[in-house]
Amino acid sequence: MKQPGFFDVEERLARLSGLGDQLEAFSRTVDFEVFRPDLELALAYSDGSKGGRPPFDPVLMFKILVIQTLNNLSDERTEYLINDRLSFMRFLGLGLSDRVPDAKTVWLFRERLTQAGAIERLFDRFDATLRNAGYLPMSGQILDATLVAAPKQRNTNAEKADLRAGRIPEDWQDKPAKRSHKDRHARWTLKFTKAKRQDDGTIPSSDLAIPFFGYKSHVSIDRKFRFIRKWKTTDAAASDGARLREGLLDKTNTASSVWADTAYRSKANEDFMDKEGFVSKVHRKKPHLKPMPRHIQKSNAGKSVIRSRVEHVFADQKSQTGLFIRTVGITRATMRIGLANIVYNMRRFLFLERLNASA
C-alpha cells in the first residue's frame, strides 16, 4: 500500500465535502471564536511563566465537546475517532502530524468548565449570536420537559431513604471511592405511556407505568424559530409545573403567549403568568370524574397543534445525538444537557440558514 500524499488527503476531504460533511457546515456557519472569552474566563489558565506543557487551545477543546455531543461519544471513543477520522481533524484544524488531546485531557477540560458553572454563559453566548443573526424570540413560547436516562444505581432501601432525605448513607461515609461512583442526585420516577392496542383490537383501560431513573431536562422554545431559549436540569422526580416559576419563561419574547401541557396548569402558575404579563395557553385538565366539556376539548386540540412543536426538539436530541447522562451528579448532568441544548441550537441554526439561502 502506497504512502498517502498531500493531494490524496485533499482529494479525500473534497469527497467528504461532496457527500455532505455536517462538521464542515458547522465550521462555515458557526463562529466558534465567540466562545473564547467565556472559555478563557472559566478555565483561568496560567500565563505559562512557570513552565510546563502549554494547554490545548480552549476553542479547539470546546469543538471536541461539540463532536462528542453530536455523536454521543465517551472520552475514550472521542480520542480514538479524532485520530481516525479526517472529517473530525478538519473540523478541529488538526493535521495528521499534530498532537491530539487524549481522553484524560478531554475529561479534565469538561470538568473545569463544569466546576466553573460555565455552561450557562456559553449557552447565553450562542443565544446572543442567534439574536444578532436576526433570530429573535418571537410568536410566544412553548414549555415542556423530557426524561434523560442515567446509569441505574443498585442501592438498598435504607440507602434510598437516606438519599431522598438528602443524607449520605452511613456505610458510604468512609468509602470515598464508592461515593464517587454513586449518583446521589438522580431519582426514580414513573414514565407513563399509552397502552398499545391488543391483537384482538381492544385497548387496555389503563396506561403503562414504566420505572425510570435519571434526570429531567426542562426547556422553553420560541414558537417562531424553535430555538431553545431557557432551560433547566432537575432530577427525574421533580415536578414539571413548578419549574415554570423558576426562570423558564423568556421575557424577551416579542409575544406574551405561553403554551404547555396540563402538567403546568395550576393556580400558582396562572397567577404568576398573569402577574408577569404572560398570556396562558396552557392545556386545561379534565374535571375529576366528569367528561371533558366539548369546548375545552376543542380548545386543547387547537393548543396541541402549537404545543407539539416542542416534541421535535426532544426527538432530535435523543434520536440524532443520543442524549444520555454518562456522568455522576446533577452538576455534571447539567453540563451534559446544556451542551446538548447548545448543539441542538447549532443544528437548528444550520437548518434555518440553509433554508434562507435556498429561498
Quote the cell numbers at residue 121: 454563559
Whole-angstrom distance, CA of residue 282 vs CA of residue 143:
9
Lowest mean pLDDT among 67-81, 125-139, 182-196: 182-196
Residue 156 has pLDDT above 90, yes or no: no
Domain locations along the chain? 7-116, 136-150+186-358
Residue 227 near residue 221, CB atoms below 8 Å: yes
153 confidence band (pLDDT: 50, 70, 90):
confident
Report the largest interatomic distance among the alpha carbons of the chain, rounded to a whole angstrom: 78
Lowest mean pLDDT among 46-55, 122-131, 258-267, 350-359: 46-55
Whole-angstrom distance, CA of residue 327 vs CA of residue 336:
8
176 confidence band (pLDDT: 50, 70, 90):
confident
Whole-angstrom distance, CA of residue 271 vs CA of residue 261:
17
Would you put residue 202 in left (φ > 0), alpha (ψ -120 to 50) or beta? beta
Mean pLDDT, to the nearest integer, of 338-348? 96
Q: By C-alpha distance, which of 146, 143, 88 is closest to 325?
A: 146
- pLDDT digit string, tens, across residues 126-144: 999 999 999 999 999 999 9
Lowest mean pLDDT among 186-190, 192-196, 278-282: 192-196
Residue 255 near residue 140, CB atoms below 8 Å: yes
Could you tell me whether strands 228-235 and 141-149 are parallel, antiparallel, or unpaired per DSSP bridges?
A: unpaired
45 φ, ψ to 5°? Answer: -65, 150
What pLDDT does residue 5 have?
Answer: 57
Percentage of residues in the chain having pLDDT higher than 70? 93
Percentage of residues in the chain having pLDDT higher than 90? 67
Query: Would you call 228 helix, strand, or coil by DSSP?
Result: strand
Which residues lie across from 190 on neighbouring strands? Answer: 211
- pLDDT digit string, tens, across residues 24-74: 999 999 999 999 999 999 998 655 555 556 789 999 999 999 999 999 999
The pLDDT mean for the chain works out to: 90
What pLDDT does residue 235 have?
Answer: 95
7 confidence band (pLDDT: 50, 70, 90):
low
Superfamily (CATH) of domain 136-150+186-358: Ribonuclease H-like superfamily/Ribonuclease H (3.30.420.10)
Looking at the chain, which runs of residues are DSSP E strands? 141-149, 187-193, 208-222, 228-235, 257-260, 279-282
Residue 146 near residue 313, CB atoms below 8 Å: no
Quote the cell numbers at residue 18: 461532496
